[in-house]
Structure 1
Amino acid sequence: MNELLSPAPEVDTPAEPGLPGRLPETLRRELVAFRRDLHMHPELGNQEFRTTCALKTRLERAGLYPRVLAAGTGLVCDIRPDVDARTEDRAAAARPLLALRADIDALPIPDVKDVPYRSTVPDRAHACGHDVHTTAVLGAGLVLTELARSGELPRPVRLLFQPAEEVLPGGALDAVEGGALDGVDRIVALHCDPRVDAGRIGLRTGPITSACDRLEITLSGAGGHTARPHLTTDLVTAAAKVATEVPALLSRRVDARSGMALTWGRIAAGHAPNVIPQRAELSGTLRCLDLASWRKAPDLVHAAVDEVAALHRAKCELNYIRGVPPVVNEPESTALLRRAMTARCGAGSVETTEQSQGGEDFSWYLERVPGAMARLGVRTPGDRRVRDLHQGDFDVDESAIPVAVELLTAAALLSPAA
């Protein structure tokens, strides 16, 4: 048994042969401290320089050779059975890799928790659990490195720390363009879920998230006095009609099972109560459960907005910003995560999860290679308060960290060696 591992306690299913034991307390404490440090120093998308440096330093200290991505944030790091990522053994270098992906960016919202590791950066917070994802992949990398040194790593693994997940259309596209998937034949990831207890994960085969796009609409026309609206383009009314009628039109032009939903987050028009403005603006998001309907969404939205705007004699400019497709879990990769979690925590540790309306740029990887994402339980068992992501008081039960590390480690060891 190598120094990073301790004997595994029994679970309610037979242990998989060849899996390591539980994380020792020294490593668990290190990872909790690492996560808290990230939590105190959150960085927005494509600005994750401190986070990237912390990861690079720790991986190099473990004897690995991380490579920072071209934009200067995020990195990839390969762990091969012979440890040395610079190997000139062509056969070993050619073997496909299993990628473990983490997103490293934070959100532009204030951290309102009263905890010692509260964010020290104003209006910045790890309110989506990316600090946990990052720590889990780092921890799995440290364990897998030790297993590689002792000859127990059956296949090469790539650690992928991706920037800018929260920035549409997501940093995954830049990571792919930078070679993050070169040589990879499968990819897995975790995402924190405050509705699932720590020590458990949620899984489903097929779509597990939704597509998410952003819309920005500008309406313009002749303004004037509110006493004579018939001589103007009544843009406030036009904007209100776009806001209410476009979502209704879309609901009649797609299959209801596609789950297409257009929701507005901002409407702005005018500055005085007796002046009809010459400009109005709307912005919002379109989400869709179905991949085929998502592909048709831009044309459908353009047509609906143009119809309503024309009815009110308003000129219309629509900036349709493509976001991300749904994350569609591939069956074999989903089964791998299920098997790995069951081996570590027992058959009762996996629950079936529903498809969410949230978007995730992990989907761009799955457009190119098979893979799956699991929902990592981070709720303290027994706590039944309703919590959600992207809120300033978001936090996790840190017992989820060693669970996540052991799950990813087991997935790497159980994944078929190519």
Structure 2
Amino acid sequence: MSDFATLSDFDAAKSELTTIRHHLHAHPELSGQEQNTAAFVAEKLEEWGYEVTRNIGGHGVVGRLRAGEGNRSIAIRADMDALPIQENTGHSYASQTPGVMHACGHDGHTTMLLGAAQYLARTKNFSGTLNLVFQPAEESIEASGARAMIADGLFERFPCDAIFGMHNHPGVAAGTILTRSGPMMAAADSVTITVNGKGGHASRPHLCIDPIVCVSAIVMALQTIVSRSIDSNEPAVVTVGTIHGGTASNVIAQEASISVSIRSFSAEVRALLKSRLVTIVETQCASWGATATIDFEAGHPVVVNAADETEFATSVCEELVGKGNVGECPLIPGSEDFANYLDHKPGCFIRLGNGEESAMLHNPGYDFNDESLTTGAALWARLTERFLR
């Protein structure tokens, strides 16, 4: 096993990686605005000898490195964007951009992959082609960076046999790695339902069609979808997040609306949830004499890790940190646009512990754990060497 990268190989790089991570943290950029972050990454890769292609699917960057005579290829992805959240960590390296912060750890993800990039460029202990994918706009569903890079020819321009990605995991000890074969993270869809009635005076409801009563019936009926239409062995969530309607107590509104979040872990359940929602809305409206507009916004698909690639990645993790520090990841109801890559290529998405006391993701007090930087960098280096051995 000593023929491949180890944790100790990155001890000397810890200070530099921490400096890089703090720089990225202090200068966050929102989805679609990662121009400076992308330039920083591209310049580092070029300095280390990578063939660099910029502006893929927006501000996406791919660094390619070939070594030996091998014909296999691998892609590893890190995300670069930040969130519209005001940071309150109080760190000396806290965000210098008001209202924007790295509250999901993408600064750490980018740094870990840069750490591996520098090491692999120096050692070249592999035979084949390495593609490092630095992705913009992971946090955007409407303008997903993964979908944009794929549409811009990512896999045609940079062919790979498999793709791997990683996300930090608050609540789990640093140095602990979680993997899971098959479905791992949920598909996330959003629905806005607008019910159109007939407005009028509150004292004469018989002359009106009350959209608020109709919407209320829809809200309650939606609660039966998971409990009565979905196999109890299949996890799913239907949550009504907002409800709006009316302007005064003596006025029956003309319309009312709700927004709904739907989470699922299989394509079949995802389709059934949508079908049942549409049926419920249409039949409830028919019973009240109202009409409805259903605006369905499909989010990211389910993250489905391929069996062979997950088995491989798990073995590499166990070699690196020991079997006792590798566990099975629970199903995560959050979504991740890495799923779009897995719809095109086999691969595996990995979770890396961010500390048991870590603030949750998307929280103004969150910070990536610097103790994880060398673990993640060593993992990407070893995984590359083993895949392209």
Shared fold per TM-score greater than 0.5: yes
User: Alignment identity in percent?
Assistant: 31
In structure 2, do the counterparts of structure 1 residues 26 and 362 end up closer, same or farther at CA, with 3 Å as the change threshold? same
Secondary structure, counterpart of 1:138 in structure 2: helix
* Distance of 1:25 and 1:323 partners within structure 2: 40
Q: Is there any run of 5+ residues in structure 1 with no aligned partner, and where?
A: 1-14, 83-90
1:36-51 to 2 correspondences below 5 Å: 36-51=22-37
Secondary structure, counterpart of 1:324 in structure 2: coil
- 2:181: which partner in 1? 205
Alpha-carbon shift at residue 212 of structure 1 (Å): 0.7
- 1:107: which partner in 2? 83
Alpha-carbon shift at residue 230 of structure 1 (Å): 2.1
- 1:61: which partner in 2? 47
Secondary structure, counterpart of 1:412 in structure 2: helix
* Distance of 2:318 and 2:232 partners within structure 1: 36
1:188 has 2:176 as partner: no
**Residue number among 125, 146, 153 corresponding to 2:126 in the alignment:** 153
Summarize deviations over 1:177-203 as a string: whole Å, max 9, x none.
122223111011111100211111111
1:147-296 to 2 correspondences below 5 Å: 147-148=123-124, 152-168=125-141, 170-182=144-156, 183-296=159-272
**Residue number among 382, 405, 413 corresponding to 2:377 in the alignment:** 405
For the aligned residues, what is the CA RMSD? 1.9
Alpha-carbon shift at residue 75 of structure 1 (Å): 1.0
* Distance of 2:353 and 2:240 partners within structure 1: 30
Alpha-carbon shift at residue 389 of structure 1 (Å): 1.4
1:27-42 to 2 correspondences below 5 Å: 27-42=13-28
Alpha-carbon shift at residue 26 of structure 1 (Å): 4.9
CA contact (8 A) 2:38 2:61 kept: yes
User: Given residue 82 of structure 2, which amino acid in structure 1 is its aligned partner?
Assistant: A
Alpha-carbon shift at residue 112 of structure 1 (Å): 1.8
Summarize deviations over 1:373-418 as a string: whole Å, max 9, x none.
1111110xxx5x474212111123211010000011111111155x
Alpha-carbon shift at residue 264 of structure 1 (Å): 2.0
CA contact (8 A) 2:87 2:99 kept: yes
- 1:119: which partner in 2? 95
* Distance of 2:333 and 2:148 partners within structure 1: 24
Secondary structure, counterpart of 1:56 in structure 2: helix
In structure 2, do the counterparts of structure 1 residues 96 and 276 end up closer, same or farther at CA, with 3 Å as the change threshold? farther
CA contact (8 A) 1:294 1:325 kept: no
1:304 has 2:304 as partner: no
Alignment coverage as a number of residue pairs: 386
In structure 2, do the counterparts of structure 1 residues 224 and 173 end up closer, same or farther at CA, with 3 Å as the change threshold? same
* Distance of 1:165 and 1:247 partners within structure 2: 30
CA contact (8 A) 2:83 2:102 kept: yes
- 1:75: which partner in 2? 61
- 2:366: which partner in 1? 394
TM-score w.r.t. length of structure 1: 0.87
- 2:342: which partner in 1? 366
Alpha-carbon shift at residue 103 of structure 1 (Å): 1.3
- 1:6: which partner in 2? none
* Distance of 1:142 and 1:127 partners within structure 2: 25
Secondary structure, counterpart of 2:97 in structure 1: coil
